[in-house]
Structure 1
C-alpha cells in the first residue's frame, strides 16, 4: 500500500500518509494537527462517521458520558492505551450525551462501550471499563 488514509480529528480533512511515517508524528496538511496524536481525542459525531468510514488505520472509539462513573474511571486508562498504541491505532472518545444520534446510529446499549473500526466497518466491540493493558490487548487481538 503506497499510502494510508487518515481523517484529521481536528478539521475532518482526509490526509494520505506513508505507512512507515505513522510513528513519525504526521501532521494534517490543512490545519497542522497531529494525525497520530498518541492520546485519546474527543470527537464529534460527524468526524467519527467520516473517520470510521475512511481511515485505513484502526480507529477505536470510547462511547461515554460525563455522568457515568465507570466511564470516568476508564478515561485515564483509555489515555494510557492511546499512548501505547501510537502508530498502530487511533483512540477517540465520543460523548453520547452531547451526541445522542451517535448512540442510536451505532447501537450503543450501555456505556462505556468501545468499538474498533477498520476498513470502513466495525470490526469488534467491547463493553465495560477496562485497564489500559486489557484495552491494548483487545485492540491488538481484534
Structure 2
C-alpha cells in the first residue's frame, strides 16, 4: 500500500497513511493514538530517533526546558502552529531538562531550538523564540 510513513508518537509503531488521508485524523494501527495531532506532543529521545529516521512527513521538534523564559513564551505559539500545520507536518517537543543527553548528541547550544527532519535527513534548524506565523512559515512542507 502506498502512503506516507509515520512513527506513532506514543508507541513508536511505524504506520503507512495514504497521502490523501493525512488531514483526516489518522490513528495508529497498534495503539489508536493520533498520528497527526493538532497540538504539539511531548516525545522521548527513543521516539525522536525512530521518527526522525523514518517519517516521510516533516517532523519539527521544539527542544525546550521548563525554566527557560523564551521557551515558555514560544510554547503556546508552537501549539497554534501545530494546529495550523496538521496534515502537513508534525510538531513535537523534547524537554532538554528531562532528556539532557539529547542536546549534546544533536549539538544544541541554546534553547528554544527547532529542528526539522524528513526522510532521515535534518532539513533545517533555528534557535530562538518565534511567533506562530514565523513558525508556520519556517516549517518545510511535506
Fold similarity call, TM over 0.5: yes
Aligned residue for 1:15, secondary structure, equals strand
What is the CA–CA distance in structure 1 between the aligned matches of 2:90 and 2:39, rounded to whole Å?
Answer: 8
What is the CA–CA distance in structure 2 between the aligned matches of 1:61 and 1:77, rounded to whole Å?
Answer: 13
Aligned residue for 1:103, secondary structure, equals helix
- Equivalent runs, 1:19-30 vs 2, <5 Å: 19-30=19-30
What is the CA–CA distance in structure 1 between the aligned matches of 2:137 and 2:45, rounded to whole Å?
Answer: 26
Output the TM-score relative to the length of structure 1.
0.97
Per the alignment, residue 94 of structure 2 pairs with: 94
User: Are positions 1:77 and 2:77 aligned together?
Assistant: yes
Per the alignment, residue 134 of structure 1 pairs with: 134
User: Are positions 1:54 and 2:54 aligned together?
Assistant: yes
Structure 1 residues 37 and 16: alpha-carbon distance in aligned structure 2, compared to 1, 3 A threshold: same
**8 Å Cα contact 2:89/2:141 also seen in 1:** no
What is the CA–CA distance in structure 2 between the aligned matches of 1:24 and 1:50, rounded to whole Å?
Answer: 23
Following TM superposition, by how much is the alpha carbon of 1:141 offset from its aligned partner in structure 2, in angstroms? Answer: 7.2
What is the CA–CA distance in structure 1 between the aligned matches of 2:2 and 2:13, rounded to whole Å?
Answer: 19
Following TM superposition, by how much is the alpha carbon of 1:101 offset from its aligned partner in structure 2, in angstroms? Answer: 1.3
**What do you get for the CA RMSD once the two structures are aligned?**
1.4
Following TM superposition, by how much is the alpha carbon of 1:38 offset from its aligned partner in structure 2, in angstroms? Answer: 1.2
How many residue pairs get aligned? The number is 142
Per the alignment, residue 5 of structure 1 pairs with: 5
Per the alignment, residue 64 of structure 2 pairs with: 64
What is the CA–CA distance in structure 1 between the aligned matches of 2:45 and 2:141, rounded to whole Å?
Answer: 26
What is the CA–CA distance in structure 2 between the aligned matches of 1:71 and 1:93, rounded to whole Å?
Answer: 11
Following TM superposition, by how much is the alpha carbon of 1:105 offset from its aligned partner in structure 2, in angstroms? Answer: 1.2
What is the CA–CA distance in structure 2 between the aligned matches of 1:74 and 1:52, rounded to whole Å?
Answer: 22
Output the TM-score relative to the length of structure 2.
0.97
Query: What runs of 5+ residues in structure 1 fail to find an aligned partner?
Result: none
- Equivalent runs, 1:100-139 vs 2, <5 Å: 100-139=100-139
